[in-house]
Amino acid sequence: MTENSFEIKFNKIAIVGLGLLGGSLAIDLRLLSPDIEIIGIARRQETLIEAELLKIDDIKIFSKLSNDITDCAGCDLIVLCTPVQTIIDQLAQLSSFVKIGTIITDVGSTKRAIMNSASAVIPMGIYFVGGHPMAGSDKAGLSHAHAGLYKGATWALCENEKSGESVDKLFELIASLGASPIIIDADSHDDVVSLTSHLPHLVASALVNAVFSSNYEELALPFMAGGFRDTTRVAAGNPALWRDILMTNRDRVLTSLTKLIVELSIWREALQTADEPYLEALLSNASERRVMVNKVRKWKSIE
């Protein structure tokens, strides 16, 4: 086990949804504390079998595994690591049986729909804080879970009237994972991720479809080099997951898509008019801004 001076202030944590995010969170929590009780909840029996085999230095990652969400009863912290619409459904389920004082959070990629649902169904005495770690990958599933996934990642936290003092405890726990927790309101969160996360996924998927609907589908394959790989990597993500994300942030994504269409029309005009100086200026602006981002954001390798 790795040495870590952080003491987890939860005795029993349930992770609902054992994919990349949920599995990686469980591994990191076990590294932080060999004694904490970690309950893993998954729908598929194959996932539960895989989770049973996860160990670090002969210590099992999960203390208990189940396909029944009611086994979250008695937990101090419940983390919902499922698709957005499933999170909304699970909040209603949890509200009927979790104990007073339980903290519930999630890792959903949109926040307004989830926060509205939590406000409506979570009873007083139960704490809810919306969460979104910017740490996903196109490689889904528990088999890709690993330690350190959240290191260096921004982790959004959204408060409402059901959050109370639980925000501070989550803030400290998230920071212990090496992530950078940021408190942000749900509207602002959904605005910004529509541009930085949801629109890029939509564009990557549209680009793949455009190439494969051309007359050069087979000829194009050997010419798909680094540019195509890097630009379209996220298009390999889970379609059902991304359907939920785009639909629960539909209005913001439409606004962002309109901005992109306006921007693309500027590029098209520069090409149509053969305006070389303007085209170079557009490319220079993008290059300088991308270099600036590189200096600010220390991204991990995507490989």
Q: What pLDDT was estimated at residue 300? A: 61
From CA 202, how far away is CA 115, in angstroms rounded?
A: 24
Using one digit for the tens of pLDDT, what is the confidence trace for 174-184?
999 999 999 99
For residue 8, what pLDDT band results from cuts at 50, 70 and 90? low
What is the β-pairing status of strands 55-56 and 180-183?
A: unpaired
Task: Residue 62: name the closest of 75, 48, 43, 45 by CA.
Answer: 48
Where are the domains positioned within the chain? Answer: 12-184, 189-296
Residues 34-62: tens digit of each pLDDT: 889 999 999 999 999 999 999 988 889 99
Q: Of 6-15, 81-90, 226-235, where does mean pLDDT reach its minimum?
A: 6-15
**Percent of the chain beyond pLDDT 90?**
81
Amino acid sitting at position 30: R
> Is 166's pLDDT higher than 70?
yes
Structure confidence by residue, pLDDT tens digits, 97-115: 999 999 999 999 999 999 9
Per the DSSP assignment, residues forming a β-bridge with 131 are 157
CATH class of the 189-296 domain in this structure:
mainly alpha
User: What is the β-pairing status of strands 37-41 and 12-16?
Assistant: parallel
Structure tokens at 293: 């981002």
Segment 25-35, tens digit of pLDDT: 999 999 998 88
Q: State pLDDT tens for residues 63-80.
A: 999 999 999 999 999 999
| Tens digits of residue pLDDT in 254-299 | 999 999 999 999 999 999 999 999 999 999 999 999 999 988 876 6
- For residue 136, the model assigns a pLDDT of 74
Contacts of 240 (CB under 8 A, 6+ apart): 83
pTM: 0.91
Classified by CATH at the fold level, domain 12-184 comes out as Rossmann fold (3.40.50)
Kindly tell me if the per-residue pLDDT of 303 is higher than 60: no
